[in-house]
Amino acid sequence: MAVTGRRAAVGTRIWRNAQLATMSPALPGLGIVEHGAIAAVDGKIAFTGPEADLPAGLAANADMVDCGERWITPGLIDCHTHLVHAGNRAGEFEMRLAGATYEEVAKAGGGIVSSVRALRAANEDELVRQTLPRLDALIAEGVTTVEVKSGYGLDADNEAKSLRAARRLGQERAVSVRTSFLGAHALPPEAAGDKDAYVAKVADDMLPAIAAQGLADAVDGFCEGLAFSPEQISRVFDKAKALGLPVKLHADQLSNLGGAALAARYGALSADHLEYTDEHGAAAMAKAGTVAVILPGAYYFIRETKKPPIQLFRDAGVTMAVATDCNPGTSPLTSLLLTMNMAATLFSMTVEECLLGVTRNAAAALDIAGETGTLEAGKWADLAIWDIERPAELVYRMGFNPLHQRVWRGQ
Ligand code: DI6
Ligand code: FE
């Protein structure tokens, strides 16, 4: 359950005279309902469907909103971000423009570790202050739920500080926040290259403390040559499972270490990046119901050349989500709308796949499909109301925001 300090709306509100893209799995495609209406009671959807079918009892005493035939989608969900971080890495950006690869920058002591130094130097209030403008950019485009990872603290206190800052975002703004512990993101400077010793600290000290404080909704890891091996990730995931926490994984981003299949073996909520995933990994994900989270921002920004195997995922029946991966090193991206355009333009994902990827399928990647991600009765009234003539405009444009109004839990 997302932890937030804000309350849902009270009473009955009806949005009428609208075109609905419900994303309901009970309907084909985007689940479109023409001349539709949505009724919410105390912030939860009580009715979605043709306005003509609206129960009379709901309309009585309701606060009516005429949407002027605008389109309504579910509120958008950014299911993979490193939104809480300190400072920026524009200097490395210049290094890379001069020809250094992401891995060379990392080996030169730059990369994630430089963000670790910045995060450790910032207190919790400062982290929230630096993060809110990035969150506001997402909210301005209709995002109602955001996932936020730790991963720049890399010791018990700083990882907990990061996740407390993430939780506070849901107190400061009308938004739902899901958190993921990513202690297995990189090796901290003090580890002196001993990955096994650090992984043992992540699994045996940091993760139990984070879990005991209820700071994480899931546990994530970075399975990559420059990060952690499948065996080291398994050490962390075994502990997550023992603590009853679901897992997700940065997998097969720069090479094929079998990360997708590893994630599937643990019944992971999602495996993310996946540029180098093969048919074995795709089949394993489909069987396990692990969502593929596609992150075009990182692919674009580090000028990767290997595209994720979208057709393989389609053929295998893997559910696909799309997210910004907002982080200071490989994806300083705070536009989910632009992210959808990248997923379509760079990876040939369809409009339907992109829009489902930032709503219904993103909710599945966060294990909140019962709460939000579609316009269906029983879920939160998280809505985005758009000044568009057709849903494709949300994927087609680059750098334009047609949001008319955002509604979070009926507010
Ligand atoms: N893969 C990435 O692209 C980011 N983390 C990860 O596991 C990079 C994060 C950073 O460079 O700060
Ligand atoms: Fe990431």
Rounded to 5 degrees, what are φ and ψ at 177? -120, 130
Ligand 1 atom showing the smallest separation from residue 186 Cα: 7
When pLDDT is averaged across residues 165-190 and rounded to a whole number, the result is 97
Which pLDDT score, from 0 to 100, does residue 300 have?
A: 97
Q: Which atom of ligand 1 is nearest to the CA of 185?
A: 7
**Helix, strand, coil shares, percent, the chain, to 5:** 40, 20, 40
Can you give the C-alpha Rg of the chain in angstroms? 21
Average pLDDT over residues 28-32: 98
Structure tokens at 200: 């043992």
| In the predicted structure, residue 3 carries a pLDDT above the cut 50 | no
> 264: which strand partners?
none
Span from the CA of 185 to the centroid of ligand 1 (angstroms): 8
Take atom 4 of ligand 1 and give the residue whose Cα is closest. Answer: 330
Residue of 142, 149, 151, 184 lying closest to 166 (CA atoms): 149
Task: Specify the pairing of strand 403-407 against strand 71-74.
Answer: unpaired
Closest CA to 239 of 194, 185, 184: 184
Distance from the alpha carbon of residue 148 to the mean position of ligand 2, in angstroms: 10
Q: What is the pTM of this model?
A: 0.97
Element (H, E) at 379: none
Better-scored residue on pLDDT, 162 or 2: 162
Question: What is the pLDDT averaged over residues 146-175?
Answer: 98
**Rounded to an integer, what distance in angstroms lies between the CA atom of residue 326 and that of residue 166?**
14
Ligand 1 interacting residues, C-beta cut-off 6 A? 111-112, 115, 185, 222, 250, 253, 298, 327-330
Measured between alpha carbons, how far is 155 from 152 in angstroms, rounded to an integer?
A: 9
Judged against a pLDDT cut of 80, whether residue 107 lies above it is answered with no
Is the distance from CB of 407 to CB of 211 less than 8 angstroms? no
Q: What is the largest CA-CA distance in the chain?
A: 68
From the CA of 327, how far away is ligand 1's center (Å)? 7
CA of 394 to the centre of ligand 2 (A): 23
Q: How confident is the model at residue 235 (pLDDT cuts 50, 70, 90)?
A: very high
Across the chain, mean pLDDT equals 96
- Convert 87-138 into a string of H (helix), E (strand) and C (coil): CCCHHHHHHHHCCCCHHHHHHCCCCHHHHHHHHHHCCHHHHHHHHHHHHHHH
Nearest ligand to the CA of 330 is 1
Model pLDDT, residue 2: 43
362 alpha carbon to ligand 2 midpoint, in Å?
A: 15
Which ligand is closest in space to the CA of residue 227? 1
pLDDT in tens, 256-308: 999 999 999 999 999 999 999 999 999 999 999 999 999 999 999 988 999 99
